[in-house]
């Protein structure tokens, strides 16, 4: 079992940047696809980005393309989500997630390991 701890959220003005971290323990993260999701109250958890175990396959939701970058360092057992040019609509609780899979799913239900979430608030 892998345990995930995500961090790095906070309050930032529109146009600013934040870098979220997802630290894994228990097992090496190199065996897992890593995804980032976000959720606002009353809405379903939304896919943001995901990377294959090697980092060779990366996917983003259209609304963050060109602004967010997902990355990982398997030697450090850590993944990141660099968020630039933040907008008020990016405000949400962000979760990292992992699944042992040869595919890179974009559906939250396909991930079986989750961090506790970190709040990102973008003020306009």
Question: Per-residue pLDDT tens for 41-70?
Answer: 999 999 999 999 999 999 999 999 999 999
Q: Is the pLDDT of residue 1 over 90?
A: no
Q: What is the C-alpha to C-alpha distance for residues 124 and 39, in angstroms, rounded to an integer? A: 19
Which pLDDT score, from 0 to 100, does residue 90 have?
98
C-beta of residue 46 within 8 angstroms of C-beta of residue 62? no
Secondary structure (DSSP) of 11-32: EEETT--EEEEEEEESS-GGGS
DSSP 115: -
> Left, alpha or beta for 119 (phi > 0: left; psi -120 to 50: alpha)?
beta
């Amino acid at each position: 079992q892998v345990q995930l701890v995500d961090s790095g959220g906070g309050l930032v003005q529109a146009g600013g940047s934040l870098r979220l971290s997802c630290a894994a323990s228990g097992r090496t993260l190199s065996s897992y696809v890593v995804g980032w999701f976000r959720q606002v109250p009353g809405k379903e958890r939304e896919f943001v980005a995901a990377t294959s175990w090697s980092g060779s396959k990366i996917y983003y939701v259209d609304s963050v393309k060109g602004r967010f970058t997902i990355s990982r360092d398997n030697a450090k057992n850590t993944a990141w989500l660099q968020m630039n040019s933040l907008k008020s609509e990016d405000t949400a609780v962000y979760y990292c997630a992992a699944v042992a899979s040869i595919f890179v799913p974009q559906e939250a239900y396909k991930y079986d390991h989750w961090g506790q979430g970190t709040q990102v608030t973008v003020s306009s």
